[in-house]
Chain A
Amino acid sequence: MYNILVVDDDKEIVNAIEIYLSKEGYNILKAYNGMEALKIVKANENLHLILLDIMMPKLDGISVANLIRKDKAIPIIMLSAKSEDYDKIAGLNNGADDYITKPFNPLELIARVNSQIRRYTSLGSIADKTQNEENTYYSGDLFINDNTKQVLVEGKEVKLTPTEYNILKFLTKNKGIVYSIEQIYENVWEEESYAAENIIAVHIRHIREKIEINPREPKYLKVIWGIGYKIENLEEK
């Protein structure tokens, strides 16, 4: 049983989140402002995740995250109506591991919570195993084992078609490098691109839908509009 602290000054939102996450089997602790949140974090050694609103009375979420990060490594997901880029950057720079904007899709919230919990609790061992083997590729929590043709995202296996698998393998192998549609075609099909049109783009979209929690805001497979695609070079945490 994992313990999740939900902090928001809007009680209805806290209650709704409680309903969703309880169904997933999590134990929920509730706080309605920053000070309460800090008290609960101090009192409970056995916390696994914090969902934190930013705009709250008494102490705002950014400060709370900052204070918690001083001595704790608990995953923090920011939950805010502020959706500007600089709001997200401020949140992530101040100790948050993820940022969800309101109004959020409950399924996305659950997926992100599960992902963080998995990472925090059990992922380390898988990472160590896979990393050292031959013919395996990774970026952050995305693992590809070319021996078994398996793709793992945050510990969960993802089913891909052979073409999708080949494209993802090629990009992960060369993570961090941007490839145009033409280059991807030439490298994966190993033949001259001949008006590849949008086949690659369609595949990429399918891959994103399978490996990303929110395909519109991908974490691993990034679209560089007008230039190409790349797998983000994420370090093992």
Chain B
Amino acid sequence: MENLCIARIAKNIAYFLVPVFILILIASIIGSAIADTDYRFKDADNYYETELFSNQYFDEIERKYSTIGYDLESNLIIADSDDYQKYQENQIETNKEKNNIYYVKNYNSNFKYLIIDRKNEVAKTNLEHTMLTDSIEEIKQILKQNSIYWNYEKGKVDTSIQSLSLENIRYTYTFEEIMNYSDQNIDIYTVLLNDTPYNDDYAMTKTIYDLVKYIEEIAPILIPISLIILVILAIIIIKGIGKRAKQQEIYLDTFDKWKLEIVICIGILLAILGILAGLIFIETRIKALIITSLTVGTIILYLDGILMLETIVKRIKTHTLWKTTILYSICEVIKKLIKNRKITTKLILAYGGFCSVGFFLSISIVNRYGEDRILAFLLLVTLGVLTFVFLFNKINEFEKIENALKSIYEGNTNIHLNSNELKGVLKQLAIYIEDIAGGLSNAVNESLKSERLKTELITNVSHDIKTPLTSIINYVDLLKKEKMPNEKAEEYLNILDSKSQRLKKLTEDLVEASKASSGNIKLQIEKINVNEILKQVSGEFEDRFKNRGLEQIVNLPEEDIYIEADGRYLYRVLENIYSNVTKYAMENSRVYLDVVVKSKSVVIQMKNISQEKLNISAEELMQRFVRGEKSRNTEGSGLGLSIASSLTELQGGKFHIYLDGDLFKVTIGFEIKKEQ
């Protein structure tokens, strides 16, 4: 929560810092550009060596000289029109009485001069008139204290400025005149005051020069630093946009929900307004007005920029940039119009579009010549390729759906169709299929769960039945050891005995049947020898068969056949079948046990003749609690065949019962496990 607040404050601070660094950046770039490109600044160690300075200085000399003239009345040298004006306004002091030196009251210049007319014995200077400047020599002395000078004395030039020496000087008309005048006894002394104390053009140019030089020096550091800072500020701003204290989500106000196109129009209009406001007074040449209007214009532009940036970044952050456009709304309307149509309508629309585009392209191939024709041909090819790609993708999607359906059909309801990857009609189809698969899977799980619960319930109930049953069986047993009062009592007791024994068997079988049918059994699959187990089981039942006079005809293959099963449960299956035979087979009949070996499977067959009439179907016989005869006097729970069938299927085998008149046949099929 705290962080959000900080992000917002940081963003606002960044907004103030951005213009500062932009200015620094622009100044650095412009400064170094000037220093690099302006010839007047080049190849100089300081301002006084630049061409800029020497030109300015020489122009000043020329100007001072070329406008020289005499006021005959006062015998005064009038240096230039400015001087004359000052003279008229009584700004020129004279010291004629002493040394014929005229002082021009123009102290605001760093350029000081002394012009001497030796013939007329007058001199003129713009040095300040002080006690020290009462004689020509003294003025010269004062001027000599300055390091930048240019003197013309008796036809010779003496200067500290390299480019203004007699050899290097630019040959102009004025300079020729000066050279000619030298015969007329004119001497010129000019200096630029050390440290340029007055705020004149020289001082200003020097300041600019120094600044530019300074900027050029630090620009290699300043530009990257300010760029990095700007990038950081931009990140801070973009991160901070839309954050509000105590709110996790990006905050959107009404403006952010306006259509993007309208917002962009407003932005452009504001920008135009800013430019207009900035340039409106440019023609007036009134500095204050221009600066004010430029500032206002810039601020408008900057605020407009912030406004646009904020709303666009917020829209991007909330993924609504595209959704808030008018174009999107139009697309949506078109989509809706198409979506609610029948698939055939869609097909007709798509096919119509394809045909008309193709038709026009084909026509243009015929009608056009040269490049246009090639272009149209290329477009037609592109159309064909795109249509193929589209159809190919659709077929792919269709195949995915087909595979999913196939896997559901095969019983695997755990499918992943990724309906988001599909489009259009097939997407809807995929969603339906996923729903159906989910429903199926739930139903299967539910039924498994309910089977498991049923098994648990049966187990618990049978446990609760067993405890009282223990007492019943025990006390019946104890009673049997007592003397009964009469035969009837003895008969009743025998019934109680047999029924309690049946109840015991029933509870045991019930648990087993429910476990077997719900698959709630842990199997230990091993390699089982079919011959061996059949010999073992028939050995177990030999005595019981003999008791009922049953003759076993065994027909086993000579080679050993191996299958994969759990020996204990396979024995339970066979035991149930055998005990079924001992209970229900006709006395003194034959029982056939055959093992039929096929290429991949082995079938164990057990055939016998039923004692009672079998007025029931094979399917019914396998259901729980159903026995071959209607009366339920014989022992057994009626669960035996049901348990045998469930256990066989659990081990991957196939269990069948065939009834043909009194012939009762059971087959158990297993896949043969090949020796490795």
A10 touches B535 (CB 8 A): no
A227 touches B526 (CB 8 A): yes
Could you count the A-B residue pairs with CB atoms below 8 Å apart for me: how many are there? Answer: 106
B422 proximal to A (CB < 8 A): no
* Cα A196 to Cα B526 with chains together (Å): 24
Contacts of B536 in A (CB 8 A): 181, 198, 201, 204, 223, 225-226, 229
A162 proximal to B (CB < 8 A): no
B474 touches A225 (CB 8 A): no
Q: Which residue of A lies closest to B469 (CB)?
A: A103
* Cα A154 to Cα B532 with chains together (Å): 31
The CB with the most chain A CB atoms within 10 A, among B466, B469, B470, is that of B470
Given A16-B475, A225-B528, A226-B532, also A204-B466 (CB < 8 A): no
B570 touches A19 (CB 8 A): no
At the interface, is chain A mostly helix, strand, loop or mixed? mixed
Given A16-B478, A226-B565, also A81-B467 (CB < 8 A): yes
Contacts of B298 in A (CB 8 A): none
A202 touches B543 (CB 8 A): yes
A149 proximal to B (CB < 8 A): no
A19 touches B543 (CB 8 A): no
At the interface, is chain B mostly helix, strand, loop or mixed? helix
- Would you give the 0/1 interface string for B468-489, flagging 1 where the beta carbon is closer than 8 Å to chain A? 1111111101100000000000
The CB with the most chain A CB atoms within 10 A, among B467, B473, B478, B542, is that of B467
Contacts of B478 in A (CB 8 A): 16, 19-20
B477 touches A226 (CB 8 A): no
A180 proximal to B (CB < 8 A): yes
B504 touches A103 (CB 8 A): yes
Q: How far is the CB of A185 from chain B (nearest CB, A)?
A: 10
A106 touches B538 (CB 8 A): no
Contacts of B571 in A (CB 8 A): 223, 225-226
Contacts of A203 in B (CB 8 A): 539
B463 touches A201 (CB 8 A): no
* Cα A14 to Cα B240 with chains together (Å): 82
- Would you give the 0/1 interface string for B496-528, flagging 1 where the beta carbon is closer than 8 Å to chain A? 000000001000100100000000000000101
A16 touches B471 (CB 8 A): yes
Which residues 83-121 of A sit at the B interface, judged by CB distance below 8 A? 83-84, 101-104, 106
Contacts of B508 in A (CB 8 A): 83
Q: How far is the CB of A129 from chain B (nearest CB, A)?
A: 35
Contacts of A106 in B (CB 8 A): 474, 477
Contacts of A205 in B (CB 8 A): 539-540, 542-543
Q: Which residue of B lies closest to A102 (CB)?
A: B470
B542 touches A81 (CB 8 A): no
Q: Which residue of A lies closest to B534 (CB)?
A: A198
Q: Which residue of A lies closest to B464 (CB)?
A: A81
A140 proximal to B (CB < 8 A): no
Contacts of A20 in B (CB 8 A): 474, 478
Contacts of B466 in A (CB 8 A): 81, 83, 101-103
A202 touches B570 (CB 8 A): no
Which residues 52-105 of A sit at the B interface, judged by CB distance below 8 A? 81-84, 101-104
The one of A19, A83, A101, A201 in contact with B542, judged by C-beta atoms closer than 8 angstroms, is A201
Which residues 177-224 of A sit at the B interface, judged by CB distance below 8 A? 180-181, 196-205, 223-224
Q: Which residues of A contact B (CB under 8 A)?
A: 10, 12-13, 16-17, 19-20, 81-84, 101-104, 106, 180-181, 196-205, 223-229
A sample of 17 cross-chain residue pairs with beta-carbon separation below 8 angstroms, ordered by A number, consists of A10-B471, A20-B478, A81-B464, A102-B467, A102-B469, A106-B474, A180-B532, A181-B536, A198-B554, A202-B539, A202-B543, A204-B539, A223-B536, A226-B526, A226-B529, A226-B536, A227-B528
Closest 7 CB pairs of A and B: A201-B539, A226-B528, A225-B567, A226-B533, A198-B539, A16-B474, A81-B466
